[in-house]
Amino acid sequence: MFSAKMQVSLVFGVFICTIGSLQAETKAPQVDVYTRYPVENGKENVVICYARRFHPHIISMSLKEDGKVMSGVQELDLSFDPDWTFRKVIYANFIPGDGKLCTCDVNHLGQEPISYKLDPLM
């Protein structure tokens, strides 16, 4: 499949990336929780949790409604920026209502686990 030269190049590249990530500083994510459309009680919407500018890439994110993990949560592929920090997006359909609390729980090496609230006025 791959020539010996390509295999050596690939192994060397992985080694360099691994060494580089070991030396990189840990950065806590910046997190935003928002909706796809302006919030209207009783009208279906999408809640989005966007974490960015974090390093290393290992992160755990979950969406909760009134403290319960939401079903049907989707996620986009983890991606990185030119400065080698990472970003990740998760989202789910939900129906906003009076008194409902929607949060995004984020757990990353750069910080203690934090719960970020959706501000329906944003």
Which CATH number characterizes residue 95's domain?
A: 2.60.40.10
Q: 92: closest CA among 30, 41, 34, 40? A: 34
In a domain? residue 17: no
pLDDT in tens, 74-105: 999 999 999 999 999 999 999 999 889 999 99
Work out how many domains the chain is built from and give that number: 1
User: In sequence order, which residues have a C-beta less than 8 Å from that of residue 104 and are 6 or more positions away?
Assistant: 31, 33, 47, 49, 61, 62, 63, 64, 90, 115, 116, 118
In a domain? residue 18: no
User: Look-up: residue for tokens 């919030």?
Assistant: 39
In a domain? residue 67: yes
Give the pLDDT of residue 45.
97
pLDDT in tens, 2-39: 555 554 454 444 444 544 545 679 999 999 999 999 99
In a domain? residue 15: no
Give the pLDDT of residue 119.
86
Q: What radius of gyration do the chain's Cα atoms show? A: 18
Residues of the domain holding 44: 25-117
Give the pLDDT of residue 104.
98
